Amino acid sequence: MLNDHRQLSRRRFLGNFAFASAAIAAGPGSWVIRPDWANAAEGPIRIGIATDLTGALGFAGNTDANVARMVVNEINETGGLLGRPIELLIEDTASNESVAVGNVRKLIQRDKVDLVLGGIASSMRNAIKDIIISRGKTLYIYPQAYEGRECTPYLFCTGPVPAQNCDRFISKTVADASRFLAPTMSGHKQSTPMRAR
């Protein structure tokens, strides 16, 4: 018992969908989504760098800041990002979590950055991520090696976890000479598990 209504075949569905899409694009769709709305944001893209310029990790933080300046200058010289210049704001976290919290708060509240990048140690990431993410709803990129298992909205950890760095190195080193990794003691008990791997 077939109804008098035509059944919707795959071919008929695709034809109707294509017709409807073309009608929307030519009709109301052409004024609803205007090309000049595609890049609605104006002004520079503000990126905050939170890194240790002073303190115990200042040697690494200064390198991070200098690389960021170099990359931003290169991007801005070629027309910016999506036609918008990048404005770089660098705050010193001073290898001190309490100093970092205050300086990151400035980036979020006063400078109104679009993105925060930085933190060298995992303890620094844990200290500043709440201000950046929970209160500021700002994107945070942590580019350093870290311990893994970080699953927080707005936070992207782009560095490797230890397994990514060490697995091949350890197995190669163990295959070559396990005596360099474990002390040679009576019975060689400590190096046995490494050789078994």
Length of the chain: 197
* pLDDT value of position 171: 74
* Position 158 pLDDT exceeds 60: yes
Q: Return the ∠ at Cα 111 (arms to 90 and 67), rounded to 5°.
A: 20
C-beta separation of 51 from 90 below 8 A = yes
Please state the domain extents for the chain.
45-159, 164-196
Kindly give the pairing relationship between strand 86-92 and strand 115-118.
Answer: unpaired
Percent of the chain with pLDDT over 90: 40
* pLDDT confidence of residue 137: 81
Whether the predicted pLDDT of 48 surpasses 70: yes
**pLDDT at res. 17:** 65
- Helix, coil or strand: residue 165: helix
pTM of the model: 0.65
Q: Between 160 and 90, where is the model more confident?
A: 90
pLDDT surpasses 70 at 184: no
Q: What is the pLDDT of residues 15-24, one digit of tens each?
A: 766 666 665 6
Percent of the chain residues topping a pLDDT of 70: 69
The answer to whether residue 170 scores a pLDDT higher than 80 is: no
Task: Name, in order, each residue with C-beta under 8 angstroms of 147's C-beta and a sequence gap of 6 or more.
Answer: 122, 161, 162
CB atoms under 10 Å from CB of 104, counted, come to 28
Quickly tell me which residue has 């910016």 as its tokens: 80
For the stretch 111-146, pLDDT in tens is 999 999 999 998 999 999 988 988 768 999 988 888
CB of 116 closer than 8 Å to CB of 124: no
pLDDT at res. 185: 53
Q: Which CATH class is domain 45-159?
A: alpha beta
Q: Does the pLDDT at position 179 exceed 60? A: no
